[in-house]
Amino acid sequence: MENQLDIIATPAVDQSALSIWSACLSSIQGQVPSQSFKTWFEPVKASKLENGELTVQVPSQFFYEWLEEHYYSLIKATISRFMGEDARLTYVVVPPDEAGNGSDVHPAAAIRLQNDPAVSAIRLGPSFSLKESEENLPPSKTFLNPRYTFNNFIKGDSNQLARAAASAVSNNPGGTSFNPLVIYGGTGLGKTHLIQAIGNYAFEAGKAKRVCYVSSEKFTIEFVDAIQSDKTREFSNYYRSMDLLVVDDIQFFSGKEKTQDSFFHTFNTLHQMGKQIVLSSDKPPKDLRGLDERLISRFQWGLTADIQPPDLETRTAILLKKCEDDNIEIPQEVLDFIATNVTSNIRELEGCYISLLAKASLENREINLDLARDVLRLVVSDVRSPITVEEIQRQVAEFFDIPPDLLRAKTRKQEIVSARQVAMYLAKEMTNCSLKTIGLHFGGRDHSTVIHAYQSVEDQIKLDSKYRDTLQLARKKIENSSR
Ligand code: ADP
Ligand code: MG
């Protein structure tokens, strides 16, 4: 059979960037949910096609990062499909008010943000350079704790958007549409860490010359002092001289009208000068009580991102990172045990870790499950053992009234398959086991079977509320069994 067909993807040099990109968009549209398409793809405009390189405009650096993080393979595949394997895609960041007026790209400012030669990003020269402050004030960095960095902030599903936005803002303070950036969430979940990381990075990387971190309480006390000592002008001038102002826990402004008024003017001045404001709060701005409507509406000008309590995987990763940083070896089972039991927040998780080290050294004991149990008993009311895949299988089998062996057997009878999928799903959710390990527990199935099971269960949860309740019951049963 020598009937070879040569298909050479001809680079579409003769077509305009617009038509290529619109073909790509139509193809992408069929492959992502319509809301995502509207949010992340519609705003991307093609601007140039040259030597197999398509240039598209995105409204912000964050936008670019989001696309790269979430749609990288899809975009790459689509571009290759329409333009050939060697095609390259270049992003240009053009803030919305500059788009369409033909702003020129500064080729010398090209930077590559991805390790793949097919994708690079170009930053606009002028719009990214920092605006010089009017009076040539000295650099200053106030009240930032150097301990809080992006490097030691563990990523997880629970903080994904907040972290991405924080990183975008720290790279280009005042230059993204996330102004102000408001990070909100419960106590001990990492708000202070994240907003200080923005300040530390922006200062160290020379993106902001004057950076100040202040809690809303400190701001309030200083304001009251300033009134008493007749120094309100100095007070205002100081905060208004910042390139990046980070204010923590703004819920404490509640009920303090004069302070709010002062902060309102500071906010406006900074915002008008294109300076970055970063805020944290224990709830979304719209739910803050005792705060002036004018302030609340301004807080919603930029981006509001939440931090949720961390899942088991993230909790374990945080503990592991602590051990690494402190150069201490703690057996994995001990880490799993702590992460299983301390679920509410990260501060408490760190507290347990420190108590564990303290107890080990004071009582000269080895760090093992026994020691961990002694520490946890003081913190958690009912200590649980980490859940094992075997236990999940046992409980699920009982729940569905089938012999546990069948979950591991080859049988493809429908009710067994369903139960097996539920057990795999719960194993992924409730243990730290990798997909591969989970597969091995189910009669040596491979990891793609586990992914498939996980996805079918997720799909059914979305469609069928009864199914969701059943699953919830099974989960409760397993949780109780580990008490
Ligand atoms: P909040 O301000 O939300 O009350 P913090 O920022 O003070 O919480 O965080 C509590 C502790 O947990 C801090 O020591 C912080 O370094 C740590 N922490 C929070 N989130 C993370 C994370 N994602 N990775 C690593 N450490 C974290
Ligand atoms: Mg805090």
Q: Does domain 389-481 have CATH number 1.10.540.10?
A: no
Check whether the bond before 180 is cis (ω within 30° of 0): yes
Pocket probe for ligand 1: among 145, 193, 246, 251, the residue whose CB has the most ligand atoms within 8 Å is: 193
SS3 247: strand
Distances, alpha carbon 305 to alpha carbons 49, 181, 185, 456, in Å:
36, 8, 9, 29
Query: What is the residue extent of each domain of the chain?
Result: 3-131, 160-307, 312-376, 389-481
DSSP single-letter state for residue 375: H
Task: Output the average pLDDT for the chain.
Answer: 85
- Residue 350 Cβ < 6 Å to ligand 1: yes
Output the pLDDT for position 113.
29
Side chain identity at residue 432, one-letter code: N
Cβ neighbours of 406 (radius 10 Å): 19
In short, whether 345's Cβ falls inside 6 Å of ligand 1 is no
The per-residue DSSP string of 81-144 comes to HHH-TT-EEEEEE--TTTTTTTPPP-GGGEE--SSSTTEEEE--HHHHSPPPPSS-PPPEEES-
Percent of the chain with pLDDT over 70: 88
Separation between Cα atoms, residue 65 and residue 476, nearest integer Å: 38
CB atoms inside a 10 Å sphere around CB 361: 10
Indicate which residue's Cα is closest to atom 20 of ligand 1: 190
Q: Which of 9-13, 91-95, 297-301, 412-416 has the lowest mean pLDDT?
A: 9-13
Please state which architecture CATH assigns to domain 160-307: 3-Layer(aba) Sandwich (3.40)
pLDDT of res. 48: 86
Q: What is the DSSP letter of 286?
A: G
pLDDT digits (tens, 9 = 90+) for 351-372: 999 999 999 999 999 999 999 9
Q: Which ligand is nearest to the CA of 353?
A: 1
Q: Whose CA is nearest to atom 16 of ligand 1?
A: 193
Q: Please name which ligand lies nearest the alpha carbon of 148.
A: 1
Atom of ligand 1 nearest to the CA of 189: 3
Which ligand 1 atom sits nearest the alpha carbon of residue 249?
A: 2
pLDDT band, very low/low/confident/very high, at 261 (cuts 50, 70, 90) = very high
| pLDDT bracket for residue 71 (50, 70, 90) | confident
- Does residue 163 have its Cβ closer than 6 Å to ligand 1? no
For ligand 1, pick from 145, 153, 321, 346 the residue to mutate: most ligand atoms within 8 Å of CB: 346
Nearest atom, ligand 1, residue 349 CA: 12
Q: pTM of the prediction?
A: 0.66
- Rounded to whole angstroms, the Cα distance separating 42 from 39 reads 7
Domain 312-376 is of which CATH architecture?
Answer: Orthogonal Bundle (1.10)
Burial class (CB in 10 A: 0-12, 13-18, 19+), 281: buried
Strand order in the sheet with 53-58: 45-50, 53-58, 88-93, 119-122, 110-111
Report which ligand 1 atom has the smallest distance to the Cα of 148.
Answer: 16
The protein residue whose alpha carbon is closest to atom 25 in ligand 1 is 153
Q: Is 349 in the pocket of ligand 1 (CB under 6 A)?
A: no
How many helices (H) and strands (E) are present in the chain, helices listed first?
Answer: 20, 11
Q: Over 70: is that where the pLDDT of 339 sits? A: yes
246 lines ligand 1 (CB under 6 A): no
- Contact 192 CB / ligand 1 (< 6 Å): yes
Query: Same CATH topology for 3-131 and 312-376?
Result: no
Mean of pLDDT values over 407-412? 93
Distance from residue 190's CA to the centre of ligand 2 (Å): 7
Q: How many whole angstroms from 348 Cα to the centroid of ligand 1?
A: 10
DSSP of 187-245: TTSSHHHHHHHHHHHHHHTTS-SEEEEEEHHHHHHHHHHHHHTT-HHHHHHHHHT-SEE
Rounded Cα distance, 247 and 285, in Å: 14
Amino acid 418 reads S
Where would I find the beta strands (DSSP E) of 249-295?
A: 276-281
Calculate how far, in angstroms, residue 191's C-alpha sits from the geometric centre of ligand 2: 5
pLDDT attached to residue 12: 40
Q: Tens digits of per-residue pLDDT, 421-470?
A: 999 999 999 998 999 999 999 999 999 999 999 999 999 999 999 999 99
Q: State residue 46 phi and psi, 5-degree precision.
A: -80, 145
> Ligand 1 centre from 349 Cα, in Å?
10
Place of tokens 């080729």: 107
Atom 5 in ligand 1: residue holding the nearest Cα: 190
pLDDT per residue as tens digits for the range 145-163: 999 999 999 999 899 999 9
pLDDT at residue 324 tops 60:
yes
Band the pLDDT of 96: cuts 50, 70, 90.
low
Per-residue pLDDT, averaged over 123-138, amounts to: 40
| CATH superfamily of domain region 3-131 | DnaA, N-terminal domain (3.30.300.180)
pLDDT in tens, 268-316: 999 999 999 999 999 999 999 999 999 999 999 999 999 999 999 999 9
Q: Find the ligand nearest to 345 CA.
A: 1
- Asked if residue 277 lies in contact with residue 179, where contact means CB atoms within 8 angstroms, the answer is yes
